[in-house]
Amino acid sequence: MFERIEIFDKRYAELNRRLYEPSVAADPEEYQKIMKEIKSIEEIVLTYREYKAAQQTEQDSLEILGDGSIEPELRELAQMELDEAKEKLETLSEQLKILLLPKDPNDDRNVIVEIRGGAGGEESALFSAVLYRMYTMYAEKRGYRVEVVNMNETELGGYKEISFMIEGDGAYSRFKYESGVHRVQRVPETESQGRVHTSTTTVAVLPEAEDVELEIDPKDLKIDTFRSSGAGGQHINKTSSAIRITHLPTGTVVECQDERSQYKNKDKALKVLKSRLLKEKQDKQASEIAADRKSQVGTGDRSERIRTYNYPQGRLTDHRIGLTLYKLEDILNGNLDEVIDALITADRAEKLKESMES
């Protein structure tokens, strides 16, 4: 393990030296490329350097304790430093093992989130709006940019479906665990009897595709224009600026009507189409490589019930890791870090276990 990290350490030092070369400073593209590589290995290198410092402390403390002429007070201090160093080495060693796990190549990408109403009719659509608000607030707290691609709104303010882009460093790494079926238990706004109903909403999270990864033949696309419409079919504008793109080989259909510009809608729709096709391609490859293995956490099965939001009890339960929190209102206001951090920890633990068994 440490031989591999030594290579990272030397590379990190080399890259930092290169940043000060005049040729690099004069080339913004090369500068950004180097900065990206530095960032990808920085946490490993800095943790390793902290580990080496703890090793030195351990060695120095042992040397002091091995000196029979040392004063009792200094011996006691050396023993304390030795105990602390040993504890730190154990913690840092585990951190390094996790940091060396293969990284999801999509983690640093922007994402496209698609929320669709499931079982429960209007109540499901209303909860789709709740989830959209939760994700938007969470994205804003992390400094991400949110841009709506397409929405199909109901008269009561819910969404039959809504898709939106989240742009920011590491967006996919935070949102990828949200794919699946979200179940809500509450008294619906449309219910006068006060009975608790259960409904579901489906969330899909797609890493944004880069142009170099997926070539789409223009002949395979059927592009239609139509007028943007809102709840109840009322026209938002009088021009045919909304775009519908059908990928003929797969039958995949994407719509975008958020912008008044036909060009901008087409550009957004193509981004979503490429991301959907890339996700399908990646899912197929992953299933072929590991057909007999299933991650404990999971990040893509849209039919998997992943979470329950119980309003009467103020409870959120994530079924994949058995996490239950009685702070539903806080979470729905965009404070998702506790949930997502727990999912990341569980996912890493599972991968670490698999790497040790293989």
pLDDT tens-digit map of 25-44: 898 889 988 998 898 889 89
Distance of CA 263 to the CA centre of its chain: 29
Inter-residue contact 237 to 228 (CB < 8 Å): yes
Considering the domain architecture, whether residues 40 and 155 belong to the same structural domain is answered as no
356 within domain boundaries: no
pLDDT in tens, 311-348: 999 999 999 999 999 999 999 999 999 999 999 888 88
Lay out the sheet containing 180-186: strands in order across: 145-153, 159-167, 111-117, 197-207, 180-186, 305-310, 315-318, 323-325
Residue 177 lies in a domain: yes
Is 335 part of any domain? yes
Provide the domain limits for residue 224.
Answer: 111-292+299-351
The answer to whether residue 317 is domain-embedded is yes
Task: With both helix axes pointing from N to C terminus, report the angle between 2-18 and 28-65 in degrees, rounded to the nearest 10.
Answer: 130
- At position 313, the amino acid (one-letter code) is Q
CATH of the domain at 89: 1.20.58
- What's the domain count of the chain? 2
Any idea which of 105-114, 125-134, 199-208, 250-259 has the lowest mean pLDDT? 250-259
How far apart are the C-alpha atoms of 206 and 172, rounded to whole Å?
8
**Residue 156 to residue 342: CA distance in whole angstroms:** 34
Order of all β-strands in the sheet with 221-226: 221-226, 242-247, 252-256
Per-residue pLDDT at 272:
82
Domain match, 141 and 189 both: yes
Same domain? For 275 and 138 the reply is yes
**Position of tokens 């994407």?**
254
Q: Tokens for 44?
A: 């490993």
Same domain, 238 and 144: yes
Residue 106 lies in a domain: no
pLDDT at 145 over 90: yes
Asked if the structure places residue 249 within a domain, the reply is yes
Angle at 177 between CA 1 and CA 311, to 5 degrees: 140
pLDDT score recorded for residue 13? 92
Whether 115 and 30 map to the same domain: the answer is no
Pick 190 or 10 by higher pLDDT: 10
Select from 99, 134, 154 the last residue of a domain.
99
- Measure the CA–CA gap between 270 and 2, rounded to whole angstroms: 44
Residue type, 335: N
Looking at the structure, tell me whether residues 88 and 119 fall in a common domain. Answer: no
Confidence at residue 192, expressed as pLDDT on a 0 to 100 scale: 66
- Last residue of one domain, picked from the residues 65, 99, 133: 99
In which element (H, E) is residue 134 found?
Answer: helix 122-141
Within this chain, do residues 133 and 33 fall inside the same structural domain, yes or no? no
